[in-house]
Structure 1
């Protein structure tokens, strides 16, 4: 394990493979994709919250967690599409080390699992409309002559993709958030001498970025700990569901992830490294850590 962490923290390239993109725009392409991933992470909770409050006549409501928006009639595709986009990027992202490449792919698959295997329950007790996105859409009604009765599953839930789907959802979400935290705390903070040091002293912009990466990673881990403690009844907060605290802490974790990847994409000028002139013989290098 120590060797693995040292490899990830060092940023040393231990294998030689041709890059997916060749040419001077390689760095810009990666930065643009990194920016888009951060933007999706920042905007997804905002879009879901605004959409939930915009129109409640069609069964949309403010659900107890981001994952429960899977069941929302209009916002469900937004949730699924955003997670699949992030997952696809993580699968395609190679990084600078084969271990980083593999674990990024595992996290990307986990993000797709979060999107495709729904959590249990609709997340909205007051809503009469719930979309079982993969199979069927139905409206929960009551009274004589209003249609077939919906039979609840054990526990009072009305939809379950298959028996192990909720467990897969939880495991995949834990893998994704854990990866994001570790990536912020180890990989993004790695110091590569020819990029980040002058006379063996870390440049100020890299030091500032590392502080931000640490704050983002700690924030994600804290949110994971709080959500885990609540789900296992270790932590009991009164009116947890009334204040949508699962949604709140998931949002904070996603925003921390988005901000870290904004810094990686060099969105914040004060955190950017000074320009390094290139000689004609110097091949393009990715400088996004």
Structure 2
């Protein structure tokens, strides 16, 4: 008698296991270590070493190697937020999630995508003799194999990405800032108002009060949410007082460090949600 063959796999089944905890931890680790990773890579390659780094995290888009890290990390976060948070009904650890909450995560994912693909303006560095990414507008016939390769080729070097498309860059930086603000606002909302809900029956005692581990997790969530919104307020203050505080603000790279604080708070909150430490697990 022939052994029974395994049942056919459904088209939407994955050949490996995937949990939302692992998605949360992956998102959290990327967000937590991205700011220091960018700064470290930039320091290694001497990116604006005279000013101890660039003015903002977004300006690392134009740095060698660090720019690839910046775009790649944000694209991964964007995909995880926009695609992987789809719940087939009520799922433990997500019982108090509403449809609007999941929709907001998708919006945050799209916002992260825009932040990655629509760069900010300027170099983020006032020092001279710095190397940044540029775009060469090649002339017609550059690929002509019959041309004399010993002759120089006249090209146009464009620093700004959108200028290479012939697009005026005046509005696009504000789209970048707006997308970043939407992303951080949604993540801060999640920390303060979504993750703090009782998402699992294990999180509650018989009398309906939260267990000790849930109480501690909520403290972490609220601290992270407060850091995100405080950093956003500080960044808004910096934009509004740019004329008066410009040199002092940019000289200290305060935009970078406030963005780093918000991004790392987001990452830590997602790590807590992913139970990256066993002591954060609820008793069974």
Q: TM-score, structure 1 length as denominator? A: 0.74
Q: Give a deviation string over 1:209-242, Cα, whole Å, max 9, x none.
A: 0011000000000000000111111884862212
Q: Residue in 2 aligned with 1:131? A: 133
In 1, are the aligned partners of 2:43 and 2:49 still within 8 Å (CA)?
A: no
CA distance in 1, matches of 2:103, 2:229: 21
In 2, are the aligned partners of 1:213 and 1:260 still within 8 Å (CA)?
A: yes
Q: CA deviation at 1:90?
A: 0.6
Q: CA deviation at 1:196?
A: 1.7
Change in 2 beyond 3 A, CA 1:223/1:58: closer
Q: Does 1:214 align with 2:222?
A: yes
CA distance in 2, matches of 1:198, 1:58: 54
Q: CA deviation at 1:110?
A: 0.3
The partner residue of 2:211 within 199, 203, 214 is 203
In 2, are the aligned partners of 1:59 and 1:73 still within 8 Å (CA)?
A: no
Q: Residue in 1 aligned with 2:34? A: 44
Q: Give a deviation string over 1:72-131, Cα, whole Å, max 9, x none.
A: 122111100001110111101236432122111111000000000000101122253221
Q: CA deviation at 1:268?
A: 2.5
CA distance in 2, matches of 1:237, 1:151: 28
In 1, are the aligned partners of 2:48 and 2:125 still within 8 Å (CA)?
A: no
**Count of aligned residue pairs for this structure pair:** 240
Residue pairs, 1:17-96, within 5 angstroms: 25=17, 29-56=19-46, 62-92=53-83, 93-94=85-86, 96=97
Residue pairs, 1:88-167, within 5 angstroms: 88-92=79-83, 93-94=85-86, 96-126=97-127, 127-132=129-134, 135-136=135-136, 158-159=159-160, 161=162, 162-163=167-168, 164-167=171-174
CA distance in 1, matches of 2:55, 2:103: 33
Q: CA deviation at 1:147?
A: 9.6
CA distance in 2, matches of 1:39, 1:147: 46
Q: CA deviation at 1:272?
A: 1.7
SS of 1:201's equivalent in the other structure is coil
Q: CA deviation at 1:56?
A: 2.4
CA distance in 1, matches of 2:245, 2:49: 29
Q: Residue in 2 aligned with 1:178? A: 185
Where structure 2 has 5 or more consecutive residues not aligned to the other structure, the ranges are 1-11, 88-96, 139-151
In 2, are the aligned partners of 1:83 and 1:111 still within 8 Å (CA)?
A: yes
CA distance in 2, matches of 1:46, 1:149: 36
CA distance in 2, matches of 1:260, 1:179: 13
Q: Residue in 1 aligned with 2:240? A: 232
Q: TM-score, structure 2 length as denominator? A: 0.75
Change in 2 beyond 3 A, CA 1:151/1:91: closer
Larger Rg: 2
Q: CA deviation at 1:45?
A: 1.1
Where structure 1 has 5 or more consecutive residues not aligned to the other structure, the ranges are 1-19, 139-145, 153-157, 277-289
CA distance in 1, matches of 2:224, 2:190: 10
Change in 2 beyond 3 A, CA 1:136/1:112: farther
Change in 2 beyond 3 A, CA 1:238/1:70: closer
Q: CA deviation at 1:49?
A: 1.0
Change in 2 beyond 3 A, CA 1:137/1:148: closer
CA distance in 2, matches of 1:24, 1:191: 29
SS of 2:133's equivalent in the other structure is strand
The partner residue of 1:266 within 251, 275, 284 is 275
Q: CA deviation at 1:31?
A: 1.0
